[in-house]
Amino acid sequence: MRTNRGAIWASIIALFLGFAAVTQVHSQDVFSRSLNLETPSSLTTLIANLSETNNELRNEIFDVRRAVSDAQNSVSSGQGTLTEAERQVAQLRVFSAQSAVAGPGIAVRIDGSFDERALSDLVNELRNAGAEAIAVNDMRVGPKSYFTGAADRSIAVDGRPLRGPWMVRAIGSPDVVYVAMTRTGGIIGQFELIYRTTRFAVTKETALDLPAQVAAAR
């Protein structure tokens, strides 16, 4: 009886150990586990996306490295680092939607029924395509912007209701952003299937003018 009990215990512990060993092997690389489920075409898209992010990082590293050596040189020649600080202030004001901006990009005109979740998804997709500045009608979208529905079928951006037809404008590479929106199976194609009576018009723009973000109304 005792032997059996011992064996049962040993088996239970061994089962657990076996389970733990496999779990351990599998959890070593969390990405490859989920990547295993992807099709080659999805993987190719993921790789393109990773490469793009890494290229941007390399460019930025190059720029900041130069800024560091410029700053060191101007400090040692007694000039201070005002110019570099001014450049950074200008860049961050654009990046965080605190200054009005101009540039090329695309415009999406939405005429018909639409909702806040779809608008939030559209903004997400534009950012993903590399849009640097986005506005809905005349409201600039900022880092903490949120979208809510309102009773009269208007959509509120940061608590301010905006009525359709909505004009979403985004500054960025016109070709890249345009293709990302209008490709087969892309977000505009999906919208056209879901909001069947709504008209979506995407156009490339050579000169857009977007206002700075106004303080959020809470």
Which residues in 156-185 contact another protein (CB under 8 A)? Answer: 171-173
Q: Which of residues 90-129 bind another protein (CB under 8 A)?
A: 90-105, 116-117, 120-121, 124-125, 127-128
Q: Binding residue for another protein (CB under 8 A) from 26, 153, 183, 199? A: 26
- The residue range among 24-32, 107-115, 160-168, 194-202 that interacts with another protein, by the rule CB under 8 A, is 24-32
Q: Is 142 in the site for another protein (CB under 8 A)?
A: yes
Q: Which ranges of the chain would DSSP assign to H, the alpha helix?
A: 2-27, 30-35, 40-76, 82-95, 116-128, 174-182, 187-194
Q: Is 153 in the site for another protein (CB under 8 A)?
A: no
* Alpha-carbon span 47 to 138, nearest angstrom: 36
Say how many residues touch another protein, by CB under 8 A: 105
Q: Is 203 in the site for another protein (CB under 8 A)?
A: no
Q: What are phi and psi of 165, to 5 degrees?
A: -65, 140
Instruction: Find out whether 198 and 191 touch, Cβ atoms under 8 Å.
Output: yes
Residue closer to another protein, measured from CB, 11 or 113: 11
Instruction: Find out whether 192 and 138 touch, Cβ atoms under 8 Å.
Output: no
